[in-house]
Amino acid sequence: MSMDVILAIVLIMHLVGVMIPAMVEKTVRAVVGKEVVLPCSAELTTGSIQFLTVNWKYKETLVIRYRNVFLKGSAPMKERSQFNLQEITKGNFSLILSDPQLSDEGYYSCEFDKHKTTVELQVFQVKVSPSGFLLAGETLSLKLESSSNTKLVPVMWLDPQSTQVMNTVSRILTDNGRSLQIKDLRVQDNGIWKCSIDTMTIPFSVTVIGVVDEPDSRTQQLAAINATVSFSFLLNIDLNQAKTLGVGDIYTNLSWKSKEHDTYQEISNFKITDQDPVWQERMRAVRVLTNTESQLVMALELSKVQFKDAGWYRYQVQFNRGHLEKTFHLMVMTVSADPPEPISKGAEVTLRCELSTPLPKGAVLCWDRVNGTKEESHQTETKHVLEVKARIAGLWQCSLKQGSSVKMCIDYKLEEAAEWKTHLLIGAGVGGGAVLLLLVGLCVFVCTARKRRRQRAQKMALARQHLLDKKTCQCSHLRKNGYFET
């Protein structure tokens, strides 16, 4: 066929008002629930639209038809299919499919006049399991689903930092990259993830509730007796967000144990509310606050720390599907002297420094006299108690060192007894002894005198009794001889 004949045919078609179609085979990818457009267009001549019939079919079943009016077919997606009325007169017969489902996948045909355009629809969705919010430390499974044979389509997963996920121990890719298992979820995994399929990207949200890692957060603290210590940590949500996520009631639980291998003992357990987010008992307080970044602040405060307060504190935040926890270790150091009085010249005092827990690895406990000599420095690498004999008054310092850094130090001022006080004490002792001897002698004298008086009184009484008895005997003798008879 010559070029002239072809041009003649085209001219005749234009004169009789027949359109010149553009037929292109295409593949369209869609996400479940997100509206998609299946393209179909043609170049129209003037007035040809009123004679035009356009049919969209799905597997040879009519979806929708246009012939000046619209007619719905019997295909399953007929009620979710439509044309753009404003675009039809421009030759745009694209099919708008709302809320696409996996079952909508397959081949669609756009037919008009004697021409046909075929479009393949591939529908994908990312299944997240479990659904809803997750807690840090849990495992999340992601799976790209599609009912069509799309195994060869390249798939790539991107985390909230837009970093491509690679196959590791904690992030396991299977099924040609279509399945991803994320173990031991972190707060950093909270946010918008993406699944990239060739040129299409499916964004989806993953909500992970967890403890925010702060650069200056400390899980281990050293404290001296009567000091105030506070531990705190942040959750990446606030109470309002928690209600929106449907986490249910939130409780906090505080437990304590004195030794690492002991069993925790509950100290407090209370529900977090907007009205009264504080629990307090004696010198311990648990506070729940919200900072400027809409994060829950869980704080534990210990006032006037005593040696018995040392140990491990476990702070749990309990949700309806599990709990988050943070553990803090409080180590208490104390110093003392035996005897605690000022040291006299030539006397000796035992200085004692004690740590509430065995020494950390690589740590050293030291006693030093400030500005003293090397001979006055003592240390131990194995024991948590260090005792030294001090004969010189001054400022002594007990310190816990680890490597080149001093973790904690406590000063103890060893007072020197004044000379006049020593003399006074000796004089007081001698005077007290003399007074005591005087009192003892006086008591002996008084007791002896009283004893002698008692003895003399007894002798006089016996003499009087003897005389009386003698007189009585004489009178009886005279009467018997008749001297008194008349």
Q: Which of 18-22, 198-202, 444-448 has the highest mean pLDDT?
A: 198-202
Checking if the pLDDT of 420 tops 90, the result is no
- Top pLDDT among 343 and 173 is at 173
Residue range 393-409: mean pLDDT, rounded:
91
Q: What is the pLDDT of residue 314?
A: 93
Residues paired with 413 in a beta bridge: 395
Q: What is the pLDDT of residue 20?
A: 41
Checking if the pLDDT of 56 tops 80, the result is yes
How open is the CA angle 42-46-52, to the nearest 5 degrees?
Answer: 55
pLDDT band at 425 (very low <50, low <70, confident <90, very high): low
Q: What is the pLDDT of residue 275?
A: 57
Q: What is the pLDDT of residue 11?
A: 41
Least confident of 62-76, 236-250, 400-414, 456-470: 456-470
CB under 8 Å, gap of 24 or more: what pairs does 369-378 form? 369/394, 369/395, 369/396, 369/397, 370/394, 370/395, 370/396, 370/397, 370/411
Checking if the pLDDT of 484 tops 70, the result is no
Checking if the pLDDT of 429 tops 90, the result is no
C-beta neighbour count of 235 within 10 angstroms:
23
Least confident of 57-61, 262-266, 428-432: 428-432
Residue range 129-153: mean pLDDT, rounded:
87
Checking if the pLDDT of 399 tops 70, the result is yes
Structural domains of the chain sorted by starting position, each given as residue range(s) with its CATH number in brackets: 16-123 (2.60.40.10), 130-209 (2.60.40.10), 213-317 (2.60.40.10), 339-443 (2.60.40.10)
Distance of CA 101 to the CA centre of its chain: 41
DSSP 170-239: SEEEETTTTEEEE-S--GGG-EEEEEEETTEEEEEEE-EE-EEPPTT--SEEEEETT--EEEEEEES--H
Residue range 407-436: mean pLDDT, rounded:
72
Q: What is the pLDDT of residue 279?
A: 67
Q: pTM of the full predicted structure?
A: 0.70
Percent of the chain with pLDDT over 70: 83
Q: What is the pLDDT of residue 6?
A: 41
Measured between alpha carbons, how far apart are the two ends of the chain, in Å? Answer: 214
Q: What is the pLDDT of residue 424?
A: 52
Determine the Cα–Cα distance for residues 395 and 414; give it in Å rounded to an integer: 6
Q: What is the pLDDT of residue 217?
A: 64
On the 0-12 / 13-18 / 19+ scale of CB atoms within 10 A, 62 is middle
Q: What is the mean pLDDT of the chain?
A: 83
DSSP 258: S
Checking if the pLDDT of 271 tops 60, the result is yes
Beta carbons of 157 and 193 less than 8 angstroms apart: yes
Q: Which of 41-45, 389-393, 466-470 has the highest mean pLDDT?
A: 389-393
188-242 confidence digits (pLDDT tens): 999 999 999 888 999 999 999 999 887 666 788 899 999 999 888 889 988 888 8
Determine the Cα–Cα distance for residues 127 and 131; give it in Å rounded to an integer: 9
Residue range 404-414: mean pLDDT, rounded:
91
Checking if the pLDDT of 62 tops 80, the result is yes
286-335 confidence digits (pLDDT tens): 777 777 777 888 888 888 899 999 999 999 999 988 999 999 999 999 99
State phi, psi for 481 to the nearest 5 degrees.
-90, -5
How open is the CA angle 425-427-430, to the nearest 5 degrees?
Answer: 110
Q: What is the pLDDT of residue 85?
A: 85
340-377 confidence digits (pLDDT tens): 888 888 889 999 999 999 998 889 999 999 888 888 88
State phi, psi for 461 to the nearest 5 degrees.
-65, -40
